[in-house]
Amino acid sequence: MKRILIVGAGGQIGSELTTYLRGIYGHDRVVATDVRECKEMAAQGPFEVLNALDATAMASAVARHRCDAIFNLVALLSAVGEKNPQMAWQINMGALMNSLEVARQHHCALFTPSSIGAFGPTSPKDRTPQDTIMQPTTIYGVCKVTGELLSNYYHTKYGVDTRSVRFPGIISNVTLPGGGTTDYAVEIYYEAVKKGRFTCPVPGDVYMDMIYMPDALRACVELMEADPAKLVHRNSFNLASMSFTPEIICAEIRKRMPDFEMTYDIDPVKKAIAESWPNSLDDTCAREEWGWKPEWDLARMTDDMLEVIRRRFPVEVR
């Protein structure tokens, strides 16, 4: 990758991936775009207001900046998507199709993240294999499975260098999530520091795979820089780091904050989604084909999350 266009740079992943990529490839070589203006990103490097559903505008940006790689990060997440499935399909698939076509026409590599949400209740729950039955029960998951198939199709038929990972829930101390089922695993840390208590919307015994943002960012770059000759799979690699329940993450926080309290107010939509997803993913293919290896576990992540959030909110509200 020499010059990169990021579509959907204002989201949870994009807001941090933009800074990460600019640190590696140079601030002037990473063009951030989003449907809304972002003055902070614009101050750091090239930025354009861009609607990912406008293929002409996307192609123009790629041509003007001579981009050879596109990161398509546009998505309506699982819980939000269930409130408006038609809009979720329009946005998620529209942005993907435009990205694929622009990548084909301008000979760009393309990264589009998939998700643990691509699996459903009929998939094996524990150490879900790379290649297995995928029958998601959310429009978000349907979009992700369709996106994987379309990306593979564009690689096979047109030779587009498409690559992807199935992200678990992503935990970040920088950008708050935007309507996903795994959001509780971010919110719990903020509420622990700010209030000393948290009301959890998913059942305490439901396992879900998670990953800390520094590992997620590194995975994006490592996959895109991997030798294509070694990639048996492309769209999309299982990615695993840690798997836990709300009760487990609560216990980890209590090791550092003994007075922390957690109660439950179950969201039926999030409960149904969480219970339909795998408990854990088998990421053997990612490890073997491009050397994936997570660096963060729950204990280390908890230390870092609490430290960073405490710096941001030095006066705890009790």
**Other CB atoms closer than 10 Å to residue 116's CB: what's the count?**
28
Tell me how far apart the alpha carbons of residues 318 and 316 are, in angstroms, rounded to a whole number.
6
Catalytic residue among 140, 154, 189, 207: 140
Tell me how far apart the alpha carbons of residues 81 and 92 are, in angstroms, rounded to a whole number.
10
Report the candidate in 3, 23, 1, 151 with the shortest Cα–Cα distance to residue 63.
Answer: 3
First vs last Cα of the chain: how many Å apart?
48
Query: C-alpha dihedral over 175, 211, 289, 94, to 10 degrees?
Result: -50
Beta pairing, strands 4-7 & 69-72: parallel
Query: C-alpha dihedral over 26, 31, 34, 40, to 10 degrees?
Result: 40
Question: Is 207 tagged catalytic?
Answer: no
Q: Would you name the residues annotated as active-site residues?
A: 140
